[in-house]
Amino acid sequence: MVFYTYVAMDDTDSREGGCTTYLLTRALEICRDSGYSIHFIPGLVRLNPNIPYKTRGNGAVVFCVSRGNTGGLDTFTSGAIGEDLVVSTYSYEKCEEFLDDNDRSLFQKFKRLVDMESSYGHDGTNPGLVVTCDNFGISHYIRAVREVYPLEMAFSTLDEKRNTLYHGLGSMRGLVGCIGALGWCQNYRSMGMDHTYEIISYRKPEFWGKKRDVEPDIVRSLDPELPGTFNNYDFVNDKPLIYPNTPCPVLFGVRGNDYRELSRVRGMLDTEEMERWQIFVSNQGTDDHLVPTPLEEINNYGSVITEGTVQESSFTIKGGHVFLKVADGANSVYAAAFEPTKNFRNIVRALYPGDRVRLYGGVKGDEKEADAPSKGMRPALADGFVKVINLEKLEILQKTTKLTKISNPICPGCKTMMKSIGKGVGYRCRKCHIRSDEEGASYHVFHRVLVEGKTYEVDGVAMRHLSKPLVRIGKENGKKLSEIDFFNN
Ligand code: ATP
């Protein structure tokens, strides 16, 4: 008989350092030393990327453990802590019925871990910890990945559960992430949802904060050697993407569609000695945050897929950020390709008024009245809420033909050039009085690199954790969140 208990943690790190996934591996040590075994792979769950409280990637962690006899279950290695392997079992489906004294004592140990080793005390770090035998429905995840999840709702959700213990510091906002992560991790597999994996390796403490030894050539070779991996290298900007830029304990992280393939990464990268490594299952690269939304219904802090017609050519403001006005009937929105999206900005710049586009991205409007675009600042709308879609992808639905007139029509009678008789009305020969419509003139047709029906994505350096890279299309490990039939689950 196997009894399952889930553990979730969030908001334990700060901008200055720390790392929630590292704290998870410290929690795995506690489990090992307390006679608990790990079920399947710990989860790294990314939540609403537009939320103002996040410091970096808005990631929460969750894992499933059990006490009791797991001897009959198949196992595999999902990580290592120093010389000790993290052995995971394949089974993980059900929670146990109730928390017992062992679970309570485990909770106390995790509580001490969060109190001692989180970055609490730094601005904006409000840790949360949940130990539970209850199932948190998928709706909690959907809310946490797509909307603003109120903190009060997190408290009432936790208080209603009968077999749940929780702890937090500061405002305890991290509890929101814990609930979202539980809602995903407990249900993604039974609901057949798309998911990915990431292997993260960690540095020895003496290296934390020091420069990482980056190996661009080897990282470039990961793509052909491990075809199920993605976002290893930004070939356009010539930058490896697997090393973080922060002083955190992470040495590298490689993402992929198959966790068995990820195990090979350690043998391929010739790095400094790792202190530990762990494979995670994740909602990264799934587009779970994006919701098809008509342009008039776009709300702040949401992430949308919406359609419209380009109203004006793009303009670039100080800092190299490119803005484009797109409308659908009376409703309009600004699509933004910020400077970090690099070459993707050229796609936005190549759009002309009249082009039909589908926009993918997060909405993070300014609530306050901003300066007008003419002043070289962010655009402003009269009602004070500037709807700006921070573009992640853009699809060209229909391209207009951009023409520049080379010359007026030639009169077929006297072979002289006709004169215009008004804008858009046509031409007439002064001598012969023969008329021609607008099409009679000669035009230069602008050739544009944009391809109708094609989707373009931001450069790898600017890709969000949740964004599905185009290379994953067709390689999904399950259904899109929007395809799930929630009523039958
Ligand atoms: P990481 O560095 O681990 O990638 P982060 O530092 O960017 O993540 P957190 O430290 O997890 O982000 O901080 C994000 C905070 O926002 C957490 O307290 C989390 O609980 C909270 N949060 C996450 N999603 C939502 C949401 N949809 N609504 C409200 N609060 C949220």
* Residue pair 90/76 in contact by the 8 Å Cβ criterion: yes
Q: Return the pLDDT at 14.
A: 63
Phi, psi of 462 (to 5 degrees): -110, 5
Q: Do the beta carbons of residue 355 and residue 399 sit within 8 Å? A: yes
47 lines ligand 1 (CB under 6 A): yes
Mutate to test the pocket of ligand 1, among 58, 158, 184 (most ligand atoms within 8 A of CB): 58
Identify the residue whose C-alpha is closest to ligand 1 atom 27: 144
Task: Give the pLDDT of residue 90.
Answer: 82
CA distance to 120, 144, 196, 240, 458, per residue, from 283 (Å) = 26, 13, 6, 22, 19
Domains 5-282 and 291-400+448-465 share a fold: no
User: With the CA atoms of 390, 395, 399 and 402 taken in that order, what torsion angle do they form, in degrees rounded to the nearest 10?
Assistant: 40
How many angstroms separate the alpha carbon of residue 56 from the centre of ligand 1? 8
Centroid of ligand 1 to alpha carbon of 291 (angstroms): 20
| Contact status, residue 288 vs residue 209, Cβ threshold 8 Å | no
Q: State if residue 149 touches ligand 1 by the CB under 6 angstroms criterion.
A: yes
Domains of the chain, by residue range, sit at: 5-282, 291-400+448-465, 403-445
CATH of domain 291-400+448-465: 2.40.50.1010
pLDDT for 443-462, tens place per residue?
A: 998 888 899 999 999 999 99
pTM recorded for the entire structure: 0.91
Instruction: Specify the amino acid at residue 59.
Output: G
Nearest CA, atom 2, ligand 1? 56
Report pLDDT for 383: 47
pLDDT tens-digit profile, the chain (489 residues): 566 899 999 988 865 556 889 999 999 999 999 988 898 899 999 999 998 887 778 999 999 998 766 677 788 999 999 999 998 888 655 666 788 898 999 999 999 999 988 877 777 789 999 999 999 999 999 999 999 999 999 999 999 999 999 999 999 999 999 999 999 999 999 999 999 999 999 999 899 888 888 788 889 999 899 999 999 999 999 999 999 888 889 999 999 999 999 989 988 887 888 999 999 999 999 999 999 999 989 988 899 999 999 999 899 988 999 999 999 988 889 999 999 999 999 999 999 999 999 999 999 765 444 443 443 444 544 444 568 999 999 999 999 988 888 999 999 999 999 999 998 899 999 999 999 999 999 999 888 889 999 999 999 999 999 999 999 999 999 999 888 766 554
Task: Say yes or no: CB of residue 148 within 6 Å of ligand 1.
Answer: yes
Distance 285 CA to ligand 1 centre (A): 18
CATH architecture of structural domain 5-282: 2-Layer Sandwich (3.30)
Residue bearing the CA closest to ligand 1, atom 10: 11
Of residues 357, 392, 364, the one with CA closest to residue 468: 392
Instruction: Supply the residue whose CA is at minimum distance from atom 11 of ligand 1.
Output: 11
CA of residue 250 to ligand 1 center, whole Å: 19
For the Cβ of 178 lying below 6 angstroms from any atom of ligand 1, the answer is no
Q: Could you tell me the distance, in angstroms and rounded to a whole number, from the CA of residue 148 to the centre of ligand 1? A: 11
465 lines ligand 1 (CB under 6 A): no
Pick from 46, 47, 284 the residue to mutate for probing ligand 1's pocket: most ligand atoms within 8 Å of its CB.
47
Pocket test for ligand 1, best of 20, 23, 51 (most atoms within 8 A of CB): 51
Atom of ligand 1 nearest to the CA of 178: 20
Mutate to test the pocket of ligand 1, among 46, 114, 129, 176 (most ligand atoms within 8 A of CB): 176
pLDDT of residue 373: 43
Q: List, as one string, the DSSP characters of 441-454.
A: SEEEEPP-S--TT-
The predicted pLDDT at position 269 comes to: 84
What pLDDT shows up at residue 96?
A: 60
Q: Separation of 464 CA from ligand 1 center, angstroms?
A: 14
Residue 147 CA: which ligand 1 atom is closest? 27
| Amino acid 55: pLDDT | 75
Q: Which of 43, 33, 36, 47 is nearest to 2 (CA)?
A: 36
C-beta of 198 in contact with ligand 1 (< 6 A): no
